[in-house]
Amino acid sequence: MSGLGNLWQESAAETFQAPGFQGELGVDLVIVGGGFTGLSAALAAAGQGAEVAVLEANTVGHGGSGRNVGLVNAGLWLAPDDVCRALGEAAGEHLNTVLGGAPDVVFDLIARHAIDCEATRAGTLHLAHAPKGEGQLKARLAQMQARGAPVRYLTADEVARRTASTAFGGALLDARAGTIQPLSYARGLARAAMAQGARIYENSPVTGAARHGGQWVVTSRSGKIRARHLLVATNAYHQPLAHMAIPSVPVVQFFQLATTPLGANLAGDILAGGEGAWDTGLIMSSIRRDKAGRVIIGGMGSEAATHANWAERKLAKLFPRLAGSEIEHAWSGKIAMTEDHLPRILRLGRDGLAVFGYSGRGIGPGTVYGRAAALALLNDDESGLPVPGVDAYAERFCTLKTLFYETGARLVHLGAARS
């Protein structure tokens, strides 16, 4: 499975290339990381007339942004009441409101900049994988409806009609959400940011970042950038930097497998409405289709044979007629999973911020957090941030937590393979 490759890289309609950085440069804002967060920040800052430079260690969308499932969800993994308990009532409701509107922001950017990314706003399905999942979904439904969200509960029969599978007990349909081709979206953001005047450099890993003479000095292998402001937007793909420490966060692997394009007779009624879906399992899995008619299934865990075997069996269990379907692509990515599943904005001393910890919700939150962080830095005003910035953040036992997630995924998938 490991040699089949990333579907998003093969099917991306948007193309993008940028040179490596060399020499010296002075800008208003330097951004480390060319994913959803960094590119959204670059687009917003350049749109304000700021001089912006983005340094990406590999290519735009190389990390989680180009390995994402492609679900543009509203909100977080946490239910709205849990967000308020974690942040306090005022800050929690502010974040719920901001992220409830995140799909609007994403789809508006796609339309405004004509990003060719298979954008489909048909909602998402949060599927009950077991009876206890139904109770969790109904509790979440009440909280979301109390806040005016256009979310409704679907019975098992309704879910079966939408998914063509009888494996689920019920689901939440969120009309705000949708699906995209994530790598095309990232490349489209990069193209739009460059059109606004941002400078983007690929294959330019940052080696150090420190403040000197009232400015940030960011060094790469072939040059140096001086900037008034710094945004670190590397998330789960952060590489160590000299003179700067970013807090460690547990990392979760998430893999995906895609079938060959399937004809209407074989898979025409599987998520025929264009919804993306994920389930309530602790070891979560996802299902969606792409524009070409491939069925894509994903789950927690690294891209090992154990998980690939599980995915093929899972696909056949959900959709018996797909048993034995050829798997055309297999790929995996990393998720930065904070302990409470809340993204963080960390102050890096004067005029610097780092954003991390989307816990599997990178598209909407990444777009919104990136834009807000850039404007907060340029305007020296944090009042527009989705969550208050913090001066310090630490999690204990990150390596053990990462191992826990991977071990749990292996045990669940091995057990399912033997059942």
Whether 78 is in a domain gets the answer yes
Report the pLDDT averaged over residues 69-95: 96
First-to-last C-alpha distance (Å) of the chain: 22
Whether 368 is in a domain gets the answer yes
Residues 365 and 53: their CA atoms lie apart, in Å, by 22
Residues 271 and 230: their CA atoms lie apart, in Å, by 42
Whether 264 is in a domain gets the answer yes
CATH of the domain at 257: 3.50.50.60
Check pLDDT > 70 for residue 142: yes
Whether 40 is in a domain gets the answer yes
Beta carbons of 315 and 164 less than 8 angstroms apart: no
Number of domains present in the structure of the chain: 1
Q: Give the structural domain span for 182.
A: 7-418
Structure tokens at 41: 């920040």
Beta carbons of 377 and 50 less than 8 angstroms apart: no
- pLDDT 10s digits, 310-367: 888 899 999 999 999 999 999 999 999 899 999 999 999 999 999 999 998 999 999 9
Residues 303 and 40: their CA atoms lie apart, in Å, by 29
Residues 67 and 63: their CA atoms lie apart, in Å, by 7
- Name residue 224's beta-bridge partners: 24, 219
- Name residue 54's beta-bridge partners: 31, 200
For 64, list phi and psi in degrees, rounded to 5: -60, -25
- pLDDT 10s digits, 195-249: 999 999 999 999 999 999 999 999 999 999 999 999 999 999 999 999 998 888 9
Residues 6+ apart with CB under 8 A from 113: 188, 189, 191, 192, 195
